[in-house]
Amino acid sequence: MRTFTLSKEYNVVCSWQNTRNGFKHIASLCKNGVAIYKTKICYLNRTWEAYEYEDILHKVVANNFEGIEKQEFMDVVKNYR
């Protein structure tokens, strides 16, 4: 499990699980410590992300934020590595 901080209010908790055909990344978006959104991405074998959980972080930000806030959080996600 790994936690990514987007701002003082928001963080994303990520983990992975084995599946029958591969594995999946699971993410929960938390606002002030309370989970407000949960999503997953399934993979058949491996992922070509620049860093672990990159794709699911992009998905969380893209599905939950708009405008300047979305761009700021995308910049934060890009700078993890």
pLDDT, residue 48, reads 81
- Give mean pLDDT, residues 48-73: 92
Map out the domains of the chain as residue ranges: 2-79
* Residue pLDDT, tens place only, 10-58: 999 999 999 998 999 999 999 999 999 999 999 987 778 888 899 999 9
pLDDT, residue 15, reads 97
Listed as own residue / partner, the contacts of 60-67 with beta carbons closer than 8 Å and 24 or more positions apart are 60/12, 60/27, 60/29, 61/6, 63/37, 63/39, 64/29, 64/36, 64/37
pTM: 0.90
pLDDT, residue 9, reads 95
pLDDT, residue 40, reads 96
